């Protein structure tokens, strides 16, 4: 297996300055052939505003209108674009550099000696490797299986669910203890729901954990370009990272995911068939509210009445504007954006 050095030595640390007035800029990132470049990294070169393009090369970002956009992607040359108050831009990157490519979690064709991290392989804590796959005559060890298997006299079925938040590696970036933006274009990431770790790879074969000791927060971007913010919050969960759905100077709402693996328990008495033929990762989502003045977490449900009771008049305008929209996690994130823009 390829040796892995520490996460922080792989990351480029960028400076930070005071933030001012912002506008929303949208655009696309393409190569010289007009083809979209998925997950290109886009940032305000003078501030800590940053995002990733989605799988179609499209992006949206808040920036200082007088600033410069810095855009880059693995195996492409970086581009600097002076905005001059433009809010709709099309960016073209030319090929160059040799940052390497990250293999997909879904890709096949790995060599027989390759310890490739697949979506349902089991992690061996602290080693960055995959568990042995010869356990009880089944693939994937205790981590479940992607294939049909035969065990204990019955035909098993593929594992349902996953211990990982995303089906494939996704882009991400962090904020360090000095409030600097940290990013590595060649790295891709995933979140381990059981261990609470953010994992990264730069070759699709080996991996390591992102350390909380040098980072304040880390953001993962899913295939739709939606941001998932993570912080260390031991008062919510004694795990390295916990997702933050809403964060303002007054309020925080966390999402804690408790995931467990339920083993196949199929059995029969010759007449009745009982249990399941598959292993399954089961998620239980719990939400916690913190008023920063008190700093005591309270377990909550995502309902309009609960949000109005907790935030009072602060949330009234947003809730009224949303009409009959259902309250879900995206609703809560949008509420947070609304409060931060006041």
pLDDT tens per residue across span 81-109: 999 889 999 999 998 865 555 555 543 33
DSSP state of 333: H
pLDDT value of residue 101: 53
- Predicted pLDDT at 99: 53
- In the predicted model, what is the mean pLDDT of the chain? 78
Domains of the chain: 14-93 (2.60.40.1120), 123-155 (no CATH), 232-257+271-342 (no CATH)
Strand, coil or helix: 136 = helix
Residue 268: band (very low, low, confident or very high) from pLDDT cuts 50, 70, 90 = confident
Burial (0-12, 13-18, 19+ Cβ within 10 Å), 282: exposed
Q: Which residues of 31-50 are buried (b: 16+ CB within 10 A; e: fewer)?
A: beeeeebbbbbbbbbbbbbb
Judge whether residue 124 has pLDDT over 50: no
Residues 6+ apart with CB under 8 A from 213: none
Nearest to 169 by CA among 107, 231, 124: 107
Nearest to 26 by CA among 103, 94, 87: 87
The mean pLDDT of 113-130, rounded to a whole number, is: 34
What's the pLDDT at 138? Answer: 32
pLDDT at 279 (0 to 100): 86
Q: What pLDDT, on a 0 to 100 scale, did the predictor assign at position 4?
A: 31
User: Of all helices (H) and strands (E), which one includes residue 310?
Assistant: helix 304-311
Find the radius of gyration of the CA atoms of the chain.
22
Work out the pLDDT band at 136, boundaries 50, 70, 90. Answer: very low
Residue that wins the pLDDT comparison between 41 and 157: 41
Ranges 22-31, 151-160, 332-341: which has the least confidence: 151-160
How confident is the model over 174-190, as a mean pLDDT? 88
Element (H, E) at 330: helix 329-340
Checking if the pLDDT of 61 tops 80, the result is yes
Task: Identify the weakest region by mean pLDDT among 11-25, 51-65, 325-339.
Answer: 11-25
Is the pTM for the entire model greater than 0.85? no
């Amino acid at each position: 297996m390829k040796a892995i050095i520490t996460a922080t030595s792989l990351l480029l640390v960028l400076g930070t300055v005071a933030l001012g007035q912002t506008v929303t800029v949208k655009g696309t990132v393409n190569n010289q052939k007009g083809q979209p470049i998925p997950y290109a990294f886009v940032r305000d070169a003078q501030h800590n505003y940053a995002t990733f393009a989605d799988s179609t090369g499209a992006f949206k970002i808040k920036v200082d209108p007088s600033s410069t956009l810095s855009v880059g992607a693995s195996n492409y040359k970086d581009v600097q674009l002076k905005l001059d108050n433009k809010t709709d831009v099309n960016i073209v990157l030319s090929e160059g550099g040799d940052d390497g490519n990250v293999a997909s979690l879904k890709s096949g064709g790995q060599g027989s000696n390759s310890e490739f991290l697949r979506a349902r392989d089991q992690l061996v804590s602290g080693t960055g490797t995959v568990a042995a796959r010869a356990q009880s005559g089944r693939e994937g060890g205790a981590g479940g299986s992607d294939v049909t298997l035969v065990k204990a006299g019955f035909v098993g079925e593929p594992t349902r669910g996953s211990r990982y938040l995303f089906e494939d590696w996704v882009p991400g970036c962090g904020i360090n203890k000095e409030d600097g933006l940290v990013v590595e274009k060649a790295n891709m990431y995933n979140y381990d729901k059981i261990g609470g770790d953010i994992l990264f790879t730069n070759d699709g074969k080996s991996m390591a954990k992102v350390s909380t000791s040098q980072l304040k927060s880390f953001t993962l971007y899913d295939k739709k370009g939606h941001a998932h913010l993570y912080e260390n919050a031991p008062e919510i969960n004694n795990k390295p990272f916990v997702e933050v759905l809403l964060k303002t100077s007054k309020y925080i709402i966390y999402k804690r995911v408790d995931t467990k693996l339920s083993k196949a328990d199929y059995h029969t008495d010759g007449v009745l068939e009982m249990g399941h033929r598959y292993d399954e990762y089961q998620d239980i989502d719990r939400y916690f509210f913190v008023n920063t003045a008190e700093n005591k977490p309270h377990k909550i449900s995502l309902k309009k009445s609960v949000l109005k009771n907790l935030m009072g008049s602060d949330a009234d305008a947003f809730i009224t504007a949303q009409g009959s929209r259902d309250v879900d996690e995206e609703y809560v994130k949008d509420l947070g954006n609304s409060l931060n823009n006041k």
